Amino acid sequence: MEFDKVIERRVSVRHYSQKEVTIEQVKEIVNAGRKGPSAKNNQPYLYVLVNEKQKQKIVEEMKKIDPIVEPSIQDSARCVEEASRLLLVFMQYDKIYLRSNFISLGASVENCCLKAADMKIDTLWVRDVIAIKGFIDKLIKPPKDYSIESSLCLGYRSKPPYRKKKKPLREVLVINK
C-alpha cells in the first residue's frame, strides 16, 4: 500500500468483528515495531502477546476500576475484549534515558500501527492498562526493569471508526524565517 494511504487508513478502531488476527500476522506487526527509531539504539520495549485466558483476566480487572478514577477504562475494557489480539507493551526503565525511552516506545508502537494498517488490520492504542499495573505484573511477570506502559488491540473493524478532527498544519508547524 502507498505510504500516504497507510497513514490515512491508520485510525483508532473501537469496535471489532470476530475475525481472527493470526500469530504470524502479529509477528509481522511487532517485527515492524522493533525496526522503529530508538534513542541511543536502546530498544527499551518488550511486547507480550497475551493468550485468550490472560486477555479475559485483564478485561475483568479493568472492569473493576471505578470510572470516576479512570473515565475511559470501561470503554477500553470493552475494546480489549472485542479485539482479536492484545499486545501488552512494556518499557525498560533507565533513569538516564527515561524520556528518550518513552519516545522510542512511541515510535515502535506507531510502526506497529502503520504495519497493521498496511496489512488491513485495525488497532487501538490503549494506555488504560497502566491502571492495573500490579495485576499485570503478577499475571505476566515481566523482566525486572520493565514496566507496563501501554497496550495495542489488534483486530478487524465491525463498523466504520469515528475519525477525530486533527489540528490544521498551521497549528502544529511553525516556520521561522
Mean pLDDT of the chain: 95
Task: Give percent of the chain with pLDDT exceeding 70.
Answer: 99
Decide: 93 and 101 in contact? Cβ < 8 Å: yes
pLDDT for 1: 66
Please give the pLDDT value at position 71. 87
- Average pLDDT value for residue range 41-60: 97
CB atoms within 10 A of CB 88: 23
Looking at residue 67, what is its pLDDT? 84
- Interhelix angle 73-82/52-63, nearest 10 degrees: 160
Beta strands in the chain (DSSP E): 45-49, 85-92, 122-126, 146-155
* pTM of the model as a whole: 0.93
Q: What is the mean pLDDT of residues 124-130?
A: 96
Mean per-residue pLDDT for 57-68? 94
Inform me whether the pLDDT recorded for 84 exceeds 70.
yes
Superfamily of domain 3-172: NADH Oxidase (3.40.109.10)
Provide the residue ranges of all domains of the chain, joining segments of one domain with +.
3-172
CA nearest neighbour of 149 among 85, 104, 83, 82: 104
Q: Cβ contacts of residue 94 below 8 Å, gap of 6+? A: 42, 44, 101, 145
Q: How large is the average pLDDT for residues 82-95? A: 93
pLDDT(95) > 80: no
As a whole number, mean pLDDT of residues 59-74 equals 92
